Amino acid sequence: MDPITHAFIGISIAGLHGANPSLQNPIFLGTVLGSISPDFDFIMQSRGDLSYLKHHRGSSHSVPGMLALSGCIAFLLKLFFPTYALAEIFLWTLLGTFSHVLVDLFNLQGVQILWPLNKKRYSCRALMAFDPILFTVLIGTFFLLSNHITYYKLMLVIIFPAYLALRLLIMKWTKRTIKKQYQHHYTIEGIYLVPTLHGPQSWDFILKTNHHFHLGNVNLFNRHSCIKKSLELENHPLEEQAMESHMGKFFQGFSPYFHMTYQKTDQGFTVNFLDLRYFLNNRFLYTATAIFNHHRELIDANLTPIYRQKKSKVSA
């Protein structure tokens, strides 16, 4: 989720306490700082795209990470505001930090909330990276009702959970709609939904069948759906080596749905990794290549996010 939405959620939590939006109030500061603190892992970008994508929403978005971040923030605020109880500052800072992880849990990329016991990324996949409806509700509620504390608290307690629940119900309905439309045409092995910026009625989807990945879009208002791209599943003798490579292991942990294509070259073979979740304007947002020689030995690997002008070198 974008940092502005996270910050406004933190401000909203401070409103539940009754804390005035003031830099002289440690409860307000704690909830806001806590609500954006898990994304401090952006510093991993200095070590390259692969390191950032591997660690983003990892330890800082886990239970130990939330406790550590909240404790550090609360301790620092206590130094500047000695008259406030440390436990109170910590509690409200922890609520702000927890709100960040909760919202990211509903995002597509998910969070490693059980790190270090389990490095799996958990995701409800119900919200976009930026949700305009949630953003508008938070800002509108703040400016319209922040002076009416009772109504403000009531709206936040009701609307925020209700919107998350609504998104989950819409997901369930969407998956049922897609299955009903395609079950007579394909042997469906899995349906993966991707929220879009076009509104709660529009969803991209990944339809896995016994022979293909089908990427499409469905509009719930008119029940119209279409397949935008189909990728044939390949059984290649290089698949095992590719999956065991550094890039293969990264994609297995990064994306629940990725696809590999194989191309024979003068050097040997090139394996392309495609993250199927992010397919925009007929292009994949996250792609990577692994180059093997004729002896099936890895000799080069590159990660190529679409927002980069050049490839990120990865050690073989």
Average pLDDT over residues 30-57: 92
Look at 311 and 166; give whichever has higher pLDDT.
166
Question: Would the pLDDT of 169 be above 80?
Answer: yes
C-alpha distances out from residue 73 to 27, 87, 88, 95, Å: 11, 12, 12, 12
- Would you place residue 159 in the very low, low, confident or very high pLDDT band (cuts 50, 70, 90)? confident
- Would you place residue 307 in the very low, low, confident or very high pLDDT band (cuts 50, 70, 90)? low
Look at 31 and 130; give whichever has higher pLDDT.
31
Q: Per residue in 85-108, pLDDT tens? A: 999 999 999 999 999 999 999 999
pLDDT for the residue numbered 227: 96
Q: Where are the chain's structural domains?
A: 3-123, 174-231, 235-314
In one letter, which amino acid is 6?
A: H
Look at 37 and 12; give whichever has higher pLDDT.
37
- Would you place residue 277 in the very low, low, confident or very high pLDDT band (cuts 50, 70, 90)? very high
Neighbours of 259 (CB within 10 A): 21
pTM for this prediction: 0.90
Q: Per residue in 216-256, pLDDT tens? A: 999 988 889 999 999 999 999 999 999 999 999 999 999 99
Percent of the chain exceeding pLDDT 90 equals 70
Q: Across all residues in the chain, what is the average pLDDT?
A: 91
pLDDT for the residue numbered 208: 97
